[in-house]
Structure 1
């Protein structure tokens, strides 16, 4: 097991709270990370309490001046339609927020996620485009605003309404799914039962849970979830540059190996990389603090919207402190920066991760 200089496992995940309905929960891994995250291990991020919804009474309304007619779907109606399955990662916008402080010395407020606010699942349901076409999408429609059925969000006495966030029509008509199942089973309550949106490659807040309405409009309509929150704030952030949609490229070193690293003994370094709407082109690893880099081998599936596993053998040649760094490049040419761009809310931490590791002499 790789450990840092303070004896903690490298790549360790931890729970922020006990796994209970309505809590923020980070995935914890005690071994190799699977290609698909088990539902019971999938991270949870809720703004309010997960609602109890009667599946028989639930309805999905498609409304707004961007469609020719309002339509209403029951759960049974949706299940009668042809189902598609997508293997897609969902990632909280603040995933990695803790490292703004730990690695860059600029702590940011909010849930102190490490890199456990992400998971890959097999989502099954109906393409959003199919439902919009059925409602008679108007040619001048510009966006869809999905609205959740969880409690209204009240902060400091201000009622911001139900969780909702506009989605540009080109993305809505591309690969977005109204998901009913997760990993072959109906959605769990914490993950949006009975239906949620899955927006591949985009920030997690776009994938609204407990879906109740889809408002299609011919003008752009904002919500607090793309103006007050889930938007870049701070010096230098304004206009379109501050909008959050597509996720950046990231990589991590997971807990691997047997025993502590030892001079002259090969250690298998391994981890994952992902890149939102792109696939991973390559992963490079440095064991000397960034002076030299070696290309890792990508193993298994390397799907757009998922994650790629990588591995690299390393034989330490000296005892003492080492710094392992991992960086990924995606198929669009984006490479992780040495430093994440700062912002007030600690969003989209994508810097090359630095992992201090202590190597011991043989026999010690």
Structure 2
């Protein structure tokens, strides 16, 4: 089926859906007692106002805790398949810790900036909040997100299990460039070593040019203070780069003349290649997308109109376009991108589709503004083998069975 044919078929499906919806509205006039949507108890008084909003008790979407030998080194996965839009609620932002979540009194916390600088300085949170701030929307993604795709597909894997270690928030903070201008980086400085205040003293080396570009010391997320699991009261936010380098509970930025070759950039977060060598400093997260509805574990009730929806993102910039296949990759058609399409942020895409009830496979692929194209699993493995644990951005497929059941499948 060509892209034009697919769009035409989708359009007919949508018109049929809208026609059915119109008939349903007429039917509502004939059965008002059953379709008004207001139970008899709806006339009783409800709850009063509160100090901090709660969601409805009927909404039960949760992060899923990923198993770990130690709870302090576990992670939790964002339920992408249950979310709308492109912003992740703070309470559902994925977690990944290496020594648990420290409890930090913000009035006592300090950020030290030292090393190859003219004026070493110590900043309190209040002092940072007095500085000129910016608010930006960025995704954060663990480089191990999509790790399951290094192995053949397990049918029961859903979007949360496969891709739940990415989230997108509105972050507020101070550009690192402004802080480094305050201390005056010395000639010869080329890296910044970031250190966290957690028990493991998470430490990562950041190239100075990236630190001076778009990196933030963030203290706000989605309009309020950072959550403790997201680094309260301060975290480093490096747009488009692997999540581990966005050091949480930030306590120190040390300006240096070389990478410090820390544990997390030598023994971990490197990519073993087929020839036995390892890629190092693979900071950037490549073009990626996933259909979240319909997706693994979900069920299509009957043939007819469905709007396919998902998320796309790239650490190299804006999403240029997303293509969707509804026939297992034989043909691809362009999806609609939901505004705003921001650089280094999740972008919601949608594609109208009419399912005819036959077995088929859905998938999406992202193309970013640099021309980076999300590869098939076979193409990625041909280039990098199967010994890596990180940076898998292969196309994700979902098989639709004749019974409407949606399962994970390789494309």
Length-normalised TM-score, structure 2: 0.75
* Structure-2 residue corresponding to 1:93: 143
The offset of 1:353, in angstroms, is 0.9
C-alpha change, 1:100 and 1:49, in structure 2 (3 Å) is same
C-alpha change, 1:334 and 1:29, in structure 2 (3 Å) is closer
What SS class does the counterpart of residue 320 from structure 1 fall into?
coil
* Structure-2 residue corresponding to 1:204: 243
- Structure that is richer in helix per residue: 2
Contact kept in structure 2, 1:187 and 1:195, CA below 8 Å: yes
The offset of 1:172, in angstroms, is 0.4
CA RMSD of aligned residues (A): 2.5
1:260 aligns with 2:260: no
1:61 aligns with 2:122: no
What SS class does the counterpart of residue 346 from structure 1 fall into?
coil
C-alpha change, 1:74 and 1:118, in structure 2 (3 Å) is same
Aligned residues: 330
1:50 aligns with 2:96: no
What SS class does the counterpart of residue 328 from structure 2 fall into?
coil
* Structure-2 residue corresponding to 1:181: 220
1:355 aligns with 2:406: no
* Aligned residue runs from structure 1 range 1-364, under 5 A: 15-17=64-66, 23-29=74-80, 31-64=82-115, 66-103=116-153, 113-152=161-200, 162-236=201-275, 238=277, 241-256=279-294, 260=300, 262-263=302-303, 265-317=304-356, 319-339=357-377, 340=380, 341-359=384-402
The offset of 1:16, in angstroms, is 2.5
Unaligned 5+ segments in structure 1 are 1-11, 106-111, 153-161
Length-normalised TM-score, structure 1: 0.84
Q: After superposing the two structures, state which structure 1 stretch, 254-263 or 163-172, moved more.
A: 254-263
Contact kept in structure 1, 2:266 and 2:280, CA below 8 Å: no
Contact kept in structure 1, 2:265 and 2:280, CA below 8 Å: no
CA distance in 2, matches of 1:286, 1:252: 12
Structure (1 or 2) with the larger CA radius of gyration: 2
Contact kept in structure 2, 1:97 and 1:113, CA below 8 Å: no
* Structure-2 residue corresponding to 1:3: none
C-alpha change, 1:25 and 1:143, in structure 2 (3 Å) is same
* Structure-1 residue corresponding to 2:48: none
Q: Could you list the per-position Cα deviations for residues 268-290 of structure 1 after superposition, in whole angstroms to 9, with x for gaps in the alignment?
A: 11111101131111111111111
The offset of 1:186, in angstroms, is 1.2
Contact kept in structure 2, 1:261 and 1:358, CA below 8 Å: no
The offset of 1:256, in angstroms, is 4.6
Unaligned 5+ segments in structure 2 are 1-60, 405-411
Contact kept in structure 2, 1:90 and 1:118, CA below 8 Å: yes
What SS class does the counterpart of residue 266 from structure 1 fall into?
strand
* Structure-1 residue corresponding to 2:13: none
Contact kept in structure 1, 2:86 and 2:311, CA below 8 Å: no
CA distance in 2, matches of 1:41, 1:236: 39
CA distance in 2, matches of 1:316, 1:48: 47
Q: After superposing the two structures, state which structure 1 stretch, 23-32 or 71-80, moved more.
A: 23-32
